[in-house]
Structure 1
Amino acid sequence: MSGHSKWSTIKRKKGAADAKRGKIFSRMSKEITVAVKEGGGSDPEGNPRLRMAIQNAKGVNMPKDNIERAIKKGIGGEANSYIEQTFEGYGPFGVAVFVECLTDNQNRTVQEVRAAFTKNDGSLGTNGSLEFIFDRKGVFTLPVREEMDIEELELELIDGGADELTIEEDYLTVLCALENFGNLNKKFEELNLETENAELQRIPNNTKTVNDEEFQKVMKLIDTLEDNDDVQQVWHNLEVGEGQEELLN
């Protein structure tokens, strides 16, 4: 899991940078709006998908006004009808790449995602072609605080369905099986612990290592995909090597 742990750190750093440019805010807004329309209304207490979307938006310091505007958009029916769409393929040097989208125009999204792969020496595969590489797991991250009793917390979270806990750079990352995601989220609420991020991630069970030059080429594809307005998440099995974090700056 070292590759995943390192990538969690990278995603936080990149997330902070993306938030400054407003890109991650637009993705959060879309998820909130869709959660209202499809997840069971505008009350977070009765709509788990919305509750989690708001929680994640707060985790990246999205302004309250933006959150409320996205909720109203879902209530008012102003939002486009979004379709969830996924793509699987390989980037340069055999790195597996899984793309999750929310789109109101599937043809446009297919064309743009295919172009991103083609222009960056990648190739799209068929749906299901990467099933053997990625496992879908629940992932929760939150900052470690001085008052936390980590050993006691670990026992509580295991009781709630956690499989693995890791601490890196003062952040606690908790993993669980897909089927335990809801229960573990409730456990955090019972413990009055507000997570900075809670989501279902596609975790690679094997990773690829590349040199610095190759790393930058793979990241160019990933950045191109993440810059697409229809793309919500990009997962991959690239191992972030020592010193390669600096190449993201």
Structure 2
Amino acid sequence: MAGHSKWHNIQARKSVQDAKKSKFFTKVTKELMLAARAGGADTALNTRLKSAIAAAKAVNLPKDKIEQAIKKGTGELAGENFDEVLYEGYGPGGVAILVEAATDNRNRTVAEVRHLLSKGGGSMGEAGCVGWMFAKKGVFSFPKESFTEEQLMEVALEHGAEDIADEGDVWEVHCAPEDFDALSGAFEAAGMTIDDAEVSMLPSNTVSLDAENGQKLIKLIDMLEDNDDVQKVHTNGDLPDELLA
């Protein structure tokens, strides 16, 4: 399940610009509402909401906006009604692509996602065509200069971790989504500062891309993520190192 941190690094480089865009705040607000609607307002019982709040704080969404979004999600305040939808397709080089969206108009969103995939050298697929290649996992990232693999293993394997992956500059610890909170708490109790943590869709295998198709895939994902209805994009494309410098 390699490659997750590579995409995270690319997204991190864009985060300063993206944080200035109103659509970025719209995305984190939608996720707060959806997370609260799905699991309630108690972060002790709702891992997804806990992650959504952390993401909202990371882009400096005001506290009152966070609270309003949560109350809209639980129904305490009136709010928009979004549906969660998942689109599956293919990108440059034959890579698999999953697009998570939140929309109040399914017809509009599916048409826009189909158009963007086609414009970016890919295509929309049928439901189930690539979803089987991905699994939902908790992902924790730690800079290699902070901890050794052995130090992480001492804590991780006792609290539900399934795998520790070498991702270049970082170690990635993977777990089942239901073990996310327990593992996060164990790392905090051990004084291990987490660089990044989220529940994501990880591919079971990856497709290596050359520089040309790698650039095309980056542009396609940028276009998809610029769409207001798109929340997250996942791929099994493995970028060449030259594009990560």
- Counterpart in the other structure of 2:47: 48
- Counterpart in the other structure of 1:240: 239
Q: Distance in 2 between matches of 1:195 and 1:204?
A: 22
After superposition, give the CA deviation of every residue in 1:87-137 in whole Å (9 maximum; x if it has no partner).
Answer: 111112212111111112111111111111122232111111114422322
2:223 aligned with 1:229: no
Q: Distance in 2 between matches of 1:16 and 1:172?
A: 24
2:145 aligned with 1:138: no
- Counterpart in the other structure of 1:155: 154
Q: CA deviation at 1:186?
A: 4.1
- Counterpart in the other structure of 1:102: 102
User: Secondary structure of 1:44's partner?
Assistant: coil
User: Which shifted more, 177-186 or 199-208?
Assistant: 177-186
- Counterpart in the other structure of 1:115: 115
Q: TM-score, normalised by structure 1?
A: 0.81
Contact 1:188 1:194 in 2 (8 A): yes
After superposition, give the CA deviation of every residue in 1:183-221 in whole Å (9 maximum; x if it has no partner).
Answer: 324434544656454332222233223333322222222
- Counterpart in the other structure of 1:180: 179
Contact 1:56 1:197 in 2 (8 A): no
Contact 1:56 1:198 in 2 (8 A): no
- Counterpart in the other structure of 2:129: 129
Sequence identity percentage: 43
- Counterpart in the other structure of 1:58: 57
Contact 2:225 2:233 in 1 (8 A): yes
- Counterpart in the other structure of 1:87: 87
Q: Distance in 1 between matches of 2:60 and 2:139?
A: 19
User: Which shifted more, 221-230 or 184-193?
Assistant: 184-193
Question: Match for 2:39: what amino acid?
Answer: G
Q: Distance in 2 between matches of 1:100 and 1:156?
A: 32
Q: Distance in 2 between matches of 1:132 and 1:73?
A: 33
Q: CA deviation at 1:171?
A: 4.7
Question: Match for 1:38: what amino acid?
Answer: A
Question: Match for 2:200: what amino acid?
Answer: Q
Q: CA deviation at 1:85?
A: 0.6
Closer, same or farther: CA 108–136 of 1 in aligned 2, 3 Å: same
Q: TM-score, normalised by structure 2?
A: 0.83
Contact 1:55 1:196 in 2 (8 A): no
Closer, same or farther: CA 198–78 of 1 in aligned 2, 3 Å: farther
Closer, same or farther: CA 37–206 of 1 in aligned 2, 3 Å: closer
Q: Any stretches of 5+ residues in structure 1 without a counterpart?
A: none
Closer, same or farther: CA 144–67 of 1 in aligned 2, 3 Å: farther
Contact 1:15 1:24 in 2 (8 A): no
Contact 2:143 2:170 in 1 (8 A): yes
Contact 2:2 2:165 in 1 (8 A): no
Contact 1:56 1:196 in 2 (8 A): no
